[in-house]
Structure 1
Amino acid sequence: MPIYEYLCPACNGQFQKLVRGFSDPPGLACPRCGNTGVRRAISRFATLKSEEDRLESLADPSTFMGLDESDPRSIARWAKRLGKELGEDAGEDWDEMVDQMLEEELSGKKDDESSSTGKPDDLGWA
């Protein structure tokens, strides 16, 4: 028996319903306002990937689309996507580490802008 998510256009409510079979039950109504004009929402879902599929997706050149190596925020977004793809192989604190590196880079850029050395930083992001 699937659990479907429904949206109510009258009150913008969202609710779930355990349904027998694959069709909406008769008399289905929003629990908040009682509107019977609810519609089924498209739910998010996950798929399992093999190790080989994960590595193939990482090697795909499209993973670098939109990456601007001169923008630390762009690199951080890419690194977070990479961490999600790697899953537990990246470690539990991957996003935290990326955020910390970004913060250090951005504070370093502010220091660089206030000084006139113009030397690139150690991370190579400048």
Structure 2
Amino acid sequence: MPIYEYRCPACNGQFQKLVRGFSDPEGLACPRCGNSNIQRAVSRFATIKSEEARLEAIADPSSLAGLDESDPRAIARWAKKLGKELGEDAGEDWDEMVDQMLEEELDGKAEEGGPGAAPAKPDNLGWA
């Protein structure tokens, strides 16, 4: 039995319905406004990639297009994307490790006062 998602054009609400068979049930109406003129929405889906497809995606040179290697934040975003592609092979703490390395890099640039340095934080202005 599939679960379908529906959208109501009257109130812009969305809801899900467990359906027997593959056709919309009779008398289906929006639970928010009661409108019976609803539309089936396209649901999100996931695809499972083979190990080979994952490695090909990582090795694709276009994945590095537009990457500014002098920007630590851009490198961190790329590394997190890489970690998602690697899945559990990267380890559970991959994002945490990338964040820690980024923080150390930004702290080092702040001490040097070089490009990409984090702005100095005033002591008494209540930075959050």
TM-score range, shorter chain: 0.7 to 0.9
Deviation at 1:12, TM superposition (A): 3.1
3-state SS, counterpart of residue 99 of structure 1: helix
The TM-score, its normalising length taken from structure 2, stands at 0.78
Deviation at 1:3, TM superposition (A): 0.7
Aligned pair in 2 of structure 1 residues 45, 98: CA closer, same or farther (>3 Å)? same
Counterpart residue type for residue 74 of structure 2: S
1: CA distance between counterparts of 2:107 and 2:12?
42
2: CA distance between counterparts of 1:107 and 1:39?
52
Is structure 2 residue 26 aligned with structure 1 residue 26?
Answer: yes
3-state SS, counterpart of residue 16 of structure 1: strand
1: CA distance between counterparts of 2:111 and 2:40?
52
Mapping 1:6-45, distance limit 5 Å: 6-45=6-45
Counterpart residue type for residue 27 of structure 2: G
Corresponding residue of 2:118: none
Q: What is the aligned-residue RMSD (CA, Å)?
A: 1.7
1: CA distance between counterparts of 2:110 and 2:37?
54
- Greater shift, 85-94 or 16-25, is seen at 16-25
Aligned pair in 2 of structure 1 residues 40, 108: CA closer, same or farther (>3 Å)? farther
3-state SS, counterpart of residue 95 of structure 1: helix
| C-alpha distance after superposition, 1:77-115 (max 9, x if no partner) | 1111111110000001111111121222222222221xx
Mapping 1:47-86, distance limit 5 Å: 47-86=47-86
Question: Paired residues, what number?
Answer: 114
Aligned pair in 2 of structure 1 residues 37, 73: CA closer, same or farther (>3 Å)? farther
The TM-score, its normalising length taken from structure 1, stands at 0.79
